A and B are shown apart, each in its own frame.
Chain A
Amino acid sequence: MSQVVAENISVKFTRHKGEPRTALAETDLAIEEGDFVCLLGPSGCGKSTLLNVIGGLTVASTGTVTVGGQVIANPGPDRGMVFQNYSLYPWLTVRGNVEFGLRLNNWPAQRVRTVAGELIDLVGLTDYADQYPKVLSGGMRQRVAIARALALEPKVLLMDEPFGALDAQTRSRMQELLLDIWARKRTTVLFVTHDIEEAIYLADRVLVMSTGPGRIVEDFRIELPRPRVADVVASREFTEYRRQMLSLLRH
């Protein structure tokens, strides 16, 4: 059975006036364990809504989501989330932020220390372990958020446009770092983006979504070799994927 299964998920938001707005029409989704899947689409296509339903932060109007065979109703540590605006705790150091979830779940102190240390190392912030988020750059903050989300060894990592607020160079370095982490951890990743290149570069599968109402319109399997290097964006295959997705998004 697939790691993440969403069946017949729809989300209607009630509006101040008039009919409820359908953010997401009946949608099915299945993600295999260890896969890197991108949800790609314009604003308002319901990609973040779908992610939040799987994360347990938004309640779906219809349908069910199972993660690792378990029906989910609430947010939980089996689904790590990373948000666009980092949402770090400013009163905690880098180490404190990464350790936060472990402490909430009452892990033994020694183990908390070791796991957090390893993750901080993994995201390359060992020298900043005792700094507060205030002094970190956007890219560094997002690395802390990724380490924090990975600390509880989630079955799936849900990422909502995590690099959307970063500049182009930092974003490209973060994409490489994320692929590197994913290659080591083999955590299932569901990654929301509106950037076509980002989706093709990162993913095994790109699910293209469309608006009015939000739904999945196409499922691309990206057959580019791994590990992927930055040059891959210049390849003929890459260009072909981009052309197809672009024409889908334009219609």
Chain B
Amino acid sequence: MSKISKRIESESVKQDAKKNKNELPILVVANKVKELSKNFMEIEEKEVESRTGDNDLKIFKETCSDVKRLMTDILQLKVSGKTDEETKKKIMDKRIEASLLFVTLKKLNRIDKLRLKKARDTTHDAKQRVDSFHLQLENLLYEVFHLKKEVDKCLEFKSKDEDIELVPVEEFYHEAPPSISKTELTKSNQHKLTLARLEWEFEQRKRLSEQCRNLEQNREKASNEITQKQKQLESLLPRLNSILESTRPLQEELNLPVERIKFQKELAVLLPDPLYILYSQIKAFIEACDPSLQISIEGGMEDALNFGSKNKTGLDEILEDVDSAESDMEAEYETNKRSVTSNKMKTDWQLTKHPLRIQLTVERVVINFAYLITLNIVVVDCKPLQRENGIDQICIIDNLLSEIFPNDHGDESPSWVNCFQARSMVNGKIYEQGKPYLWAQRLAGLDFNGVVKSTPQTFINTEFVETVVVALKNRINYRFQFVKVLHLLEKGELDLNQDSNAAFPATIYSRLVSWSPSSYEDCLVTSKNLERLLNFLEINPKALMFFKATIERESARLLAIFLVPVDYPNSAPICSLELLWNGKHTRENSEIIRGMEAEVNVSINELPPQHKIDLLIVQLKKLTLHLDLITEIDGQLMKRGGGSWQSQTKPEFSAEKMIPQLIKGHDRKFPTKYDAGSGFFLHQ
């Protein structure tokens, strides 16, 4: 643009130059133009500065009006139509004058342009300046903001010392030495004060940590001492044990329970739950109520310790065995063989006893409680404590624990569960281990989820332990008394105490010649009557002891089978008779024998409690008396034609007894009652 303008300028200058200096050679002119234009431009620039726009506008307006006037003049001249020279000339002059005016216009235009340009430049400069100022301003603002932030940060800064709990100021001044507190300095300056307090805190902490270390060391020392002493004590134990070991013979000799009690306690921990319950219950009862009983745990401690693991492996083996047997189904023979063995193993395994058992000593009988792990029942067996000379051991033990509670024979497992565990085999073999009486299960806390086959009413009693123990004691006491009675009977003695003897005449001729224990089967073979009696009474033969007695008077032999209940003398014995004298007479074919049996079995005299055990003797004595009576009455009836068993002419026995009436009633009964006062034999 500037080039263009320059060219224009140069042209204009050229024109000017042409106008002004037409005659100058071109080169010089060109140079001169160049120079001139250059100068001119500088001049013009200066001119622009010097001149004002208003003036130029005025000039422009004057010029324009001049031009206009000239134009108008020319027009008027031309319109006048004067073609004379003068006019022509006048027009020409006027024309020139106007053209010259154009130069002025041009100049004005140029100056205007320059002025515009100049104004523009100044505006631009100013604008740039403003921009830079603005930028500067923004920078400064940013800096201010940043600084403010920094200030905030600084203000928000937290020092660690704020977390430290310091002693209160008063205390600090009171305790800290002046070297640290520096009272005059710190009183006024909070910062200094804080620093001083921190320093004091630090001092104190150093001191305390020192103290702590000291104490720690003391503790260490003490614990070392303790371990040392412990070691000493530990080394003492084997020595004490060995001492204890060596005192054992002495303990045994002096019957001291010291070690035994300790050992028992250790064993008690190893007991299976049911036995433990049983043990603890009875033990507690003994301590509380009845020190005459003794209870102990028998069995090896090591066995018991080992038992748990061993038992488990045993089970596994069997399971494995069964599994393998099942997998071998194809080889049938093999399987059969195996299953048989596994069955056998199963039963043996089912009857596994826990190695520990509880031994309860009641009076002179030892009762053992053992626990069959798999069947989950407690079995009981018993034996006398020591042999007693001349007394049949079997009589003491046989049936001793049967029917302590009604219907509790211990014949089969009380748990229904066991019914399904190879019943036949199990039930058969349980006896080898003992009998699973219901009361024992109850004592051991086994209720089989309430599915006990039969629950005797007594089991509902809350003081069950006492009930059982009392029942056991009674049973055992009576059994020992009974055994003594049996012993006498075996000798054929029918001795009674004074009171009981008074109910009998002084002389009885019949004698008990034999008394022997027997068995159910044996008695059944001997006497058919017995079966009928047993059927009628619905007694389980297992709740009875069977004895055979023979009573004789000369040729008359009375055979009696005695059924003694296990709970004798609480239940009365029952006899079944057979008289061998001029034929065989029994209940079936003779009302006399039936009457005799009824007299012995039914009318049981109430004996005083201390002589209760003599009931059997009383019954036997009655039999001897009745045999006397029968034989004599029979003789008397023979004489009187009343019908007799004897076929010979003279009665075998003479009438010695005082009998006012031999026979009475449509059933032709013999007298049975002995009136001790008058010595008469009377009908009931």
Judge: A and B partners, yes or no.
Answer: no
